[in-house]
Structure 1
Amino acid sequence: MKGLIKHREFRTIIFLILLFLFVGLINSDYISPDNIQNSLKNSLLYIILAAGLSFVLLTGEIDISIGGILGLSAAVSGMVLRDGGSMVLAVIIAAAIGAAIGLVNGLGVTVLKISSFIMTLGMLEIVRVIHVIYTDGQWIENLPASFKKISQLSFLGINILAIAVILLIISAHIFLSQSKKGRYFAAIGDNEDGAILIGIPVKKMKISAFVISGISASLAGLIFASQIGFISTTAGLGIEMTVIAAAVLGGVSLSGGVGSVIGAAIGAIIMSSIHSALVFLKVPAFWNSAISGALLIIIVVTDVLMARRADMKARKDRLNARVLDL
């Protein structure tokens, strides 16, 4: 049990269970099977975004442009589908947009040495403007019924999109934890200079992280379009705050080197569940942003304190070892 408690993912799951129990005591409808299923379904968008962002966070960088990528990818692919294009073509175009923007972000951070916060914040604003220009400020509507039905399809009672997202998360977790290249991401965030010394291609891996984050955001854009049925010019606006909070809540450290996509996925479910909990508790929706920001501050402060405590313990152990040697 002590070993489980040390894992951030386990603590996050406990937090999720307590959240449902607490809200369920106030409004029993919140813990009904239908609402739990809806909460999981609504969290798919955040799960994909948080998982992709985790690759960047593990390297010690950050990507704030994900909301803009989501909106632009959804708009472009939505217009392709509306004008008679195939589903495959829409997915390829969306992924290409995300990969291209991620590549630019990665090159800006690694080659031009621009702070990832500044680079991706600037890219967010640029992408937002491109979105408005491309759509002429109009909403993308009249999407094919077959596309909108995808979010409603199920297999053995489980949503098809949920199955696909779960498989992607499991694959990403195996890659990051079991493969040699996958472990490079955390190694870079833990000690970038050390990673360079042992031959890890730091620039290449950081660029890859931003590309993965971009593609994840574009795929999230497709999920968004399928679930909502239309794409507004403000699609994805402000979602980056919730996604960052979700990843950090799930145990992914903002300083890099620590975390997993599974933890980020659980954190995404929690953030989505909090939003739905506010509805059942009859709390005004504008509190969503305040809660996301407050959680982010609390989690980061806790993370810093825990890291400081671990560092002090390590120093104390080293000092004791030296005393014993004397």
Structure 2
Amino acid sequence: MSRFKNITKQREFRTFLFLVVIFIIVGLVNSDFLSTGNIHNSLKSSLLYIVLAVGITFVLLTGNIDISVGGVLGLSAAVSGMILRDGGSIIVAVLIAILIGAVIGLINGLGVTKLKISSFIMTLGMLEITRVVQVIYTDGQWIENLPAGFKQISQMSIFGINMLSIIVIAGVILVHLYLTKSNKGRYFSAIGDNEGGAVLLGIPVKRYVTYSFIISSVCASLAGLIFASQIGFISTTAGLGIEMTVIAAAVLGGVSLSGGVGTVIGVTIGAVIMTSINSALVYMKVPAFWNDAISGSLLITIVVADVLLTRKASKEAKKERLNARVLQEGVEVSVK
């Protein structure tokens, strides 16, 4: 019973409950929303956001933020798309995309750790740079006529289950185990929780903060490949504004913007929620222009909730430390 109670206290459980409530409410309005096909499509549509959100979680855990992921997605998709369109191999396109993400992530990480630039300012600048580079590289043209074999990757299934979904879910599980069970994986949360304490413990803070930005950008590059495969073309505005949705998904999934708290399991659920909301609006016949307003309102709501929860947890921690100190002093007095 106590174990179940502990589970219900987890932020991930509340996020999952929120997802269930969305499906129930929309299902009452339109029963087609609860069909197996729609649930499967919701998962497929959320893969892009899951990969982005898992990557950005590393940065958020360290107490920083990365809003350049949309630009990295667009640039990586454009470059790899042109390679594929011109007859290049899929392996080369994937490697180039990963290299682009790694280089951009390294620049972001060094800018934050070495030059002491605010992560918000650094990644905002990188977002604008990548957008301009993409337009120059593509000469402002859409990239179309991608090979059929590449576009079929996102449609391949195993026993009726989308293969890409299986790969992404397996990746989420592996990342979750790394962040929660590995000593080095826990460094990211330790840095965000108490950077000064992490330094005293011998954790190479600057190195792992840089790693977090590299991981975030590489995930954005991989998301760019998924985007190109699912959509079949790359526009000059690919990934525009997606960073806000991804951050909302991460925070909704239980990641604290102040750092140190969160899991990729919760983030995955958050990404599915953000995708399901857009799908729900369609099934409820709500005009599409409400999508951004609802996403923005949800982001503000969960950020405020995050601040209140963090403040409450801080007060409870201080109270526990105070009680422990009083009890210790009482024991010392009785001994004397």
SS in structure 2 at match of 1:50: helix
SS in structure 1 at match of 2:185: helix
Of 84, 89, 105, which aligns to 2:108? 105
Cα distance in structure 2, aligned partners of 1:178 and 1:152: 33
Question: Which residue does the alignment assign to 1:32?
Answer: 35
What TM-score do the two structures reach when normalised by structure 2? Answer: 0.95
> Residues 257-299 of structure 1, C-alpha deviation per residue, up to 9 Å, x if partnerless?
0001111111000000001101111111122211222111111
Alignment of 1:270-281 (within 5 A): 270-281=273-284
Q: CA deviation at 1:320?
A: 3.5
Cα distance in structure 1, aligned partners of 2:214 and 2:204: 15
Question: Which residue does the alignment assign to 2:69?
Answer: 66
Of 260, 263, 273, which aligns to 1:260? 263
Cα distance in structure 1, aligned partners of 2:311 and 2:127: 33
Question: Which residue does the alignment assign to 2:47?
Answer: 44
Question: Which residue does the alignment assign to 1:154?
Answer: 157
Q: CA deviation at 1:167?
A: 1.2
Over the aligned positions, Cα root-mean-square deviation in angstroms equals: 1.0
Larger radius of gyration: 2
Cα distance in structure 2, aligned partners of 1:220 and 1:162: 13
Amino acid paired to 1:30: F
Paired positions, count: 326
What TM-score do the two structures reach when normalised by structure 1? Answer: 0.98
Alignment of 1:83-102 (within 5 A): 83-102=86-105
Amino acid paired to 1:159: N
Amino acid paired to 1:251: G
1:304 and 2:303 are equivalent in the alignment: no
> Residues 8-55 of structure 1, C-alpha deviation per residue, up to 9 Å, x if partnerless?
111111111111011000010111111111000000000000000000
Amino acid paired to 1:75: A
SS in structure 1 at match of 2:258: coil
Cα distance in structure 1, aligned partners of 2:146 and 2:191: 42
Question: Which residue does the alignment assign to 1:288?
Answer: 291
Q: CA deviation at 1:317?
A: 3.0
1:211 and 2:214 are equivalent in the alignment: yes
1:177 and 2:189 are equivalent in the alignment: no
> Residues 27-85 of structure 1, C-alpha deviation per residue, up to 9 Å, x if partnerless?
10111111111000000000000000000000000000000000000000000000111
Moved over 6 A (4+): none
Cα distance in structure 1, aligned partners of 2:322 and 2:33: 52
Cα distance in structure 2, aligned partners of 1:23 and 1:268: 18
Amino acid paired to 2:214: V
Q: Percent identity?
A: 71
Question: Which residue does the alignment assign to 2:6?
Answer: 3
Amino acid paired to 1:91: V
Amino acid paired to 2:301: I
> Residues 137-190 of structure 1, C-alpha deviation per residue, up to 9 Å, x if partnerless?
000000001111111110011101101101111111111111111000000000
> Residues 81-101 of structure 1, C-alpha deviation per residue, up to 9 Å, x if partnerless?
001111100100000001110
